[in-house]
């Protein structure tokens, strides 16, 4: 048997939930329709680009793990999963516009193909559509969780913007940023799954914590990958964060561990990323990051969060676990997803 | 007594609802707060720029007219009114980014001051916050109306984008665009007011139609104003729509009534607005619009919708009108608002 990797544990999870995922994909396609043809065209560009659908997968998994048993038409966790994907897609569309990104998952970004205007507006449409679907679903707790997560997401993005080019950003502040921009929606995805399943408070909280910690691990790995030579394989441009002067943990760790010259280098390239960068700077940044073990620092942190995510699943209520003992393989899969998330960077 | 104008009937309406408006303004300020300081700063820039608050005013007016009697703390129509203003503000922020507008209500636009990125993200925040407030309010029908209106709004904006630079756009299509971009939220504002008041179906529908028709009249007048020499007074740049190649009714009317040379002119300047325009083109466009009475065509259409808005208020249910006979002055004020909306263009 080949050893598990991030990719194949995620695939195993998607396989375990294959029927739910199929229904979710159908729901996503059905609900992004509009009488204005450009909307489904642009939305399909992202949908077709085939993200991992990680967030809807978390909704579905959390719902099943917490005991949601419905099958067939009218499954309530499907609509919630589609909404979470719409909210995520809306933020991707807006991010690519504000960052002027030309690539997304190795393909031309929606703004590169359809323009900024269409990307902003279709993002708005998907966001509104998500709340339409949620309203039709009729669960006020689900709406409360997802509207709060959406606000936190925007706050995280604004906070990230204000920490950009600023090397006085503390590690705590950085962790707040990635909680907002990534972990909050992961947490909400898992929590809404539990709510749809009618889980007790303890199980709901355990799943929320699973999502939050998984999200933190996930973003830390993503930030490490941005300084990893292997990442071109993943369809991302190497050094994006560096060129934008984003203050992520690899940079902070290398900056804090660096000597006077190194710190001078980081200030020039990160604090003045627009005008201060020269040819060869990315290569030098990668050297400094290697020399200061900044990727290890980042990955250790990611590993801590991944472990915390896995541990959270041991805190589901005994009654809940007993009632859903048949879901034990799913619980193991989710633990694997957390643990093997951190191998994406190798 | 001076004759009523758009400005003073709106002021009379705001005065009639002075306590509600005060509470609404307080709610807007309170609910745009965030731990991320840039968010209230940017939001305050728009709030301070002092729009007419027309949409929240409509929520409050419709609620009172339909019999909402609460006073003091915890009035439900206040939160809904604040949400409608947040949704509207979010679209203004995004519009100014995608249109690269430098002015809004005669002041520097938020994107000009804070940058595109912050404007997009704070728009997202306000939209999410609106649905947080609505969820806390707990009315699913209100959420259904406002999430659908938000989706329609985005669709209207995308549709407007696809009709831009396209003189084969039909008048019907243009009317669809302005329904989406403006009238849908006016309709939703009035309808949610009725819902909060617990109005019967007939009154709810009458108020919805009032809002929809008022919104149509309002946008038609706005589009006429963009070709009116007087409009600099209103803090708008003259000819914005022309420079952007927007296909509005003044242009369509002038184009359809024009001779061969005129049509050639419109094709060059509107269909190729980016590269085809020359010095003096706006002046010539204004001449053609004057010669073909295109402003009159637009204003006549606006007057029809304004009359339809006023008439809709006569279709409120007899029971509702009888139960709220003390609100008769408010009903007259709303009729005046509709009728005198069309004098903004003079």
Residue A154 with chain B: CB contacts under 8 Å:
39, 121-122, 124-125, 128
Q: Given pLDDT bands bounded at 50, 70 and 90, which one contains residue B232?
A: low
Among chain B residues, CA nearest to A135: B144
Q: Given pLDDT bands bounded at 50, 70 and 90, which one contains residue B1?
A: very low
Q: Which residues pair with A104 in a beta bridge?
A: A107
Asked whether the beta carbons of residue B132 and residue A120 sit closer than 8 angstroms, the reply is: no
Q: What is the DSSP string of A210-251?
A: HHHHHHHHHHHHHHHHTT-GGGGGGT--TTHHHHHT---HHH
Mutate to test the interface with A, among B132, B145, B146, B148 (most CBs of A within 10 A): B132
Specify whether the CB–CB gap between B143 and B188 falls below 8 A.
no
The phi-psi region of residue A280 (left if phi > 0; otherwise alpha if psi is between -120 and 50; otherwise beta) is left
Side-chain half-sphere of B111: how many Cα atoms within 13 Å?
23
Q: Distance (Å, rounded) from C-alpha A261 to C-alpha B297?
A: 71
Residue whose tokens read 């329709």: A33
Asked whether the beta carbons of residue A131 and residue B147 sit closer than 8 angstroms, the reply is: yes
Positive or negative: CA dihedral B274, B278, B281, B283: positive
| The pLDDT of residue A62 | 98
- Where in B31-89 does DSSP place strands (E)? none
Asked whether the beta carbons of residue B127 and residue A127 sit closer than 8 angstroms, the reply is: yes
Residue B159 with chain A: CB contacts under 8 Å:
36
Q: Distance (Å, rounded) from C-alpha A15 to C-alpha B101?
A: 48
| The pLDDT of residue B99 | 82
Query: Could you tell me if residue B346 is inside a domain?
Result: no
**Token pair belonging to B261:** 């040379």
Q: Distance (Å, rounded) from C-alpha B247 to C-alpha B268?
A: 13
Of B116, B128, B162, the CB nearest to A98: B116
Min Cα distance B9 → chain A (Å) is 33
Specify whether the CB–CB gap between B75 and B23 falls below 8 A.
yes
Asked whether the beta carbons of residue A36 and residue B158 sit closer than 8 angstroms, the reply is: yes
- Count other Cβ atoms within 10 Å, centred on residue A284: 13
Residue B35 with chain A: CB contacts under 8 Å:
155
Min Cα distance A120 → chain B (Å) is 7
Q: Which helix (H) or strand (E) holds B103?
A: strand B103-104
The domain that contains B302 carries what CATH number?
1.10.600.10
Asked whether the beta carbons of residue A124 and residue B36 sit closer than 8 angstroms, the reply is: no
Q: Distance (Å, rounded) from C-alpha B88 to C-alpha B68?
A: 24
Query: Could you tell me if residue B345 is inside a domain?
Result: no
Specify whether the CB–CB gap between B216 and B180 falls below 8 A.
no
Q: Is A104 helix (H, G, I), strand (E, B) or coil?
A: strand
Chain B interface residues facing chain A, Cβ-Cβ under 8 Å? 34-36, 38-39, 90-91, 94, 97-99, 116-118, 120-125, 127-129, 131-132, 134-136, 138, 140, 143-144, 147-148, 150-151, 153-155, 157-159, 161-162
Over the stretch B122-164, which tens digit does the pLDDT of each residue have? 999 999 999 999 999 999 999 999 999 999 999 999 999 999 9
Query: Could you tell me if residue B311 is inside a domain?
Result: yes
Residue whose tokens read 């396609």: A29
Q: How far is CA A8 from the centre of its chain?
A: 18
Min Cα distance B70 → chain A (Å) is 24
Within A104-227, residue ranges assigned H as helices are: 110-114, 116-137, 140-163, 171-178, 184-196, 201-225
Chain A interface residues facing chain B, Cβ-Cβ under 8 Å? 34-36, 38-39, 90-91, 94, 97-99, 116-118, 120-125, 127-129, 131-132, 134-136, 138, 140, 143-144, 147-148, 150-151, 153-155, 157-159, 161-162
Across B329-345, average pLDDT: 89
Tens-level pLDDT at each residue, chain A (346 residues)? 456 787 889 999 999 999 999 999 999 999 999 999 999 999 888 876 667 799 999 999 999 999 999 998 889 999 999 999 999 999 999 998 888 888 777 788 888 888 889 999 999 999 999 999 999 998 999 999 999 999 999 999 999 999 999 999 999 999 999 999 999 999 999 999 999 999 999 999 999 999 999 999 999 999 999 998 665 555 556 788 999 999 999 999 999 999 999 999 999 999 998 888 999 999 999 999 999 999 999 999 999 999 999 999 999 999 999 999 999 999 999 999 999 888 765 4
Asked whether the beta carbons of residue A144 and residue B135 sit closer than 8 angstroms, the reply is: yes
Q: Distance (Å, rounded) from C-alpha A125 to C-alpha A42?
A: 11
Q: Given pLDDT bands bounded at 50, 70 and 90, which one contains residue B46?
A: confident
Q: Distance (Å, rounded) from C-alpha A306 to C-alpha A310?
A: 6
Min Cα distance B57 → chain A (Å) is 23
Q: Is A103 helix (H, G, I), strand (E, B) or coil?
A: strand
Query: Could you tell me if residue A345 is inside a domain?
Result: no
Among chain A residues, CA nearest to B130: A147
Specify whether the CB–CB gap between A231 and A225 falls below 8 A.
yes
Q: Is B292 helix (H, G, I), strand (E, B) or coil?
A: coil
Q: What are phi and psi of B72, to 5 degrees?
A: 75, -155
Across B42-47, average pLDDT: 85
pTM (2 decimals)? 0.94
Instruction: Tell me the CA distances in angstroms from A344 to A8, A237, B85, B206, one per residue in order.
Output: 11, 16, 44, 58
Residue A125 with chain B: CB contacts under 8 Å:
151, 154-155, 158
| The pLDDT of residue B82 | 96
Q: Which helix (H) or strand (E) holds B109?
A: none
Residue B94 with chain A: CB contacts under 8 Å:
120-121, 124
In residues, how long is chain B? Answer: 346
Q: Is the ipTM of this complex over 0.90?
A: yes
Asked whether the beta carbons of residue A98 and residue B121 sit closer than 8 angstroms, the reply is: yes
Specify whether the CB–CB gap between B143 and B192 falls below 8 A.
no
Over the stretch B287-323, which tens digit does the pLDDT of each residue have? 999 999 999 999 999 999 999 999 999 999 999 999 9
Instruction: Tell me the CA distances in angstroms from A193 to A14, A65, A86, A142, one per residue in order.
Output: 15, 9, 16, 9
Min Cα distance B296 → chain A (Å) is 30
Q: Which helix (H) or strand (E) holds B107?
A: strand B107-108
Residue A122 with chain B: CB contacts under 8 Å:
154, 158
Residue B118 with chain A: CB contacts under 8 Å:
158, 161
Q: Could you report how far apart the first and last alpha carbons of chain A are, in Å? A: 20
Percent of chain B scoring above 90 in pLDDT: 79
Query: Could you tell me if residue B191 is inside a domain?
Result: yes
Q: Distance (Å, rounded) from C-alpha B181 to C-alpha B157?
A: 6
CA torsion B2-B5-B10-B11 (nearest 10°) is: -30
- Count other Cβ atoms within 10 Å, centred on residue B300: 13
Residue whose tokens read 């104008």: B5
**Token pair belonging to B275:** 């590269």
Count of domains observed in chain A: 1
Asked whether the beta carbons of residue A132 and residue B121 sit closer than 8 angstroms, the reply is: no
Among chain A residues, CA nearest to B41: A158
Q: Could you report how far apart the first and last alpha carbons of chain B are, in Å? A: 20
Among chain A residues, CA nearest to B139: A140
Specify whether the CB–CB gap between B82 and B133 falls below 8 A.
yes
Side-chain half-sphere of B92: how many Cα atoms within 13 Å?
22
Q: Distance (Å, rounded) from C-alpha B245 to C-alpha B282?
A: 11
User: Whole domain around residue A201: which residue ranges?
Assistant: 6-338
Least Cα distance to A222 among A285, A305, A148, A145 occurs for: A305
| The pLDDT of residue A74 | 86
Q: What is the DSSP-derived secondary structure letter of residue B247? A: -
Is the confidence at residue B346, as pLDDT, over 50?
no
**Token pair belonging to B53:** 């608050």
Work out the mean pLDDT of chain B and round it to a whole number.
Answer: 92
Of A98, A125, A144, the CB nearest to B155: A125
| The pLDDT of residue B308 | 98
Among chain B residues, CA nearest to A90: B124
Among chain A residues, CA nearest to B150: A128
Asked whether the beta carbons of residue B94 and residue A136 sit closer than 8 angstroms, the reply is: no
Residue with the bigger pLDDT between B7 and B248: it is: B248
What would you report as the CA-atom Rg of chain B, rounded to the nearest whole angstrom?
Answer: 20
| The pLDDT of residue A108 | 83
**Token pair belonging to B37:** 């300081």
Query: Could you tell me if residue B344 is inside a domain?
Result: no
Query: Could you tell me if residue B234 is inside a domain?
Result: yes
Positive or negative: CA dihedral A213, A219, A224, A229: positive
Q: Which helix (H) or strand (E) holds A107?
A: strand A107-108
Asked whether the beta carbons of residue A120 and residue B97 sit closer than 8 angstroms, the reply is: yes
Residue B97 with chain A: CB contacts under 8 Å:
116, 120
Query: Could you tell me if residue B1 is inside a domain?
Result: no
**Token pair belonging to B325:** 């006979």
For chains A and B, count residue pairs whose Cβ atoms are closer than 8 Å. 141
Q: Which residues pair with B104 in a beta bridge?
A: B107
Specify whether the CB–CB gap between B31 and B83 falls below 8 A.
no
């Amino acid at each position: 048997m080949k050893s598990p990797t991030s990719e194949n544990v995620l695939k195993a999870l998607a396989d375990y939930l294959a029927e739910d995922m199929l229904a979710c994909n159908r729901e996503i396609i059905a609900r992004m329709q509009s009488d204005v043809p450009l909307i489904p065209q642009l939305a399909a560009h992202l949908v077709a680009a085939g993200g991992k659908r990680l967030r809807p997968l978390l909704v579905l998994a959390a719902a099943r793990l917490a005991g949601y048993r419905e099958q067939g038409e009218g499954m309530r966790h499907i609509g919630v999963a589609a909404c979470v994907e719409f909210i995520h897609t809306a933020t991707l569309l807006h991010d690519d516009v504000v960052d002027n990104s030309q690539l997304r998952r190795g393909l031309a970004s929606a703004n590169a193909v359809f323009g900024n205007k269409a990307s902003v507006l279709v993002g708005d449409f998907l966001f509104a559509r998500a709340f339409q679907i949620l309203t039709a679903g009729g669960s006020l707790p689900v709406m409360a969780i997802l509207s709060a997560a959406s606000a936190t997401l925007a706050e995280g993005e604004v906070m990230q913007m204000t920490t950009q080019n600023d090397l006085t950003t503390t590690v705590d502040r950085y962790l707040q940023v990635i909680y907002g921009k990534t972990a909050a929606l992961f947490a909400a995805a898992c929590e809404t799954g539990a709510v749809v399943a009618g889980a007790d408070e303890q199980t709901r909280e355990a799943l929320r914590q699973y999502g939050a910690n998984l999200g933190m691990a996930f973003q830390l790995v993503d930030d490490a990958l941005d300084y990893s030579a292997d990442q071109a394989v993943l369809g991302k441009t190497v050094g994006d964060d560096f060129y934008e002067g984003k203050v992520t943990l690899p940079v902070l760790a290398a900056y804090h561990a660096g000597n006077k010259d190194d710190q001078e280098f980081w200030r020039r390239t990160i604090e003045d990323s627009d005008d201060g960068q020269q040819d060869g700077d990315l290569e030098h940044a990668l050297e400094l990051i290697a020399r200061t073990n900044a990727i290890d620092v980042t990955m250790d942190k990611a590993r801590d969060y991944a472990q915390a995510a896995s541990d959270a699943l041991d805190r589901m209520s005994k009654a809940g676990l007993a009632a859903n003992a048949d879901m034990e393989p799913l619980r193991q899969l989710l633990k694997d997803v957390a643990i093997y998330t951190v191998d994406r960077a190798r």
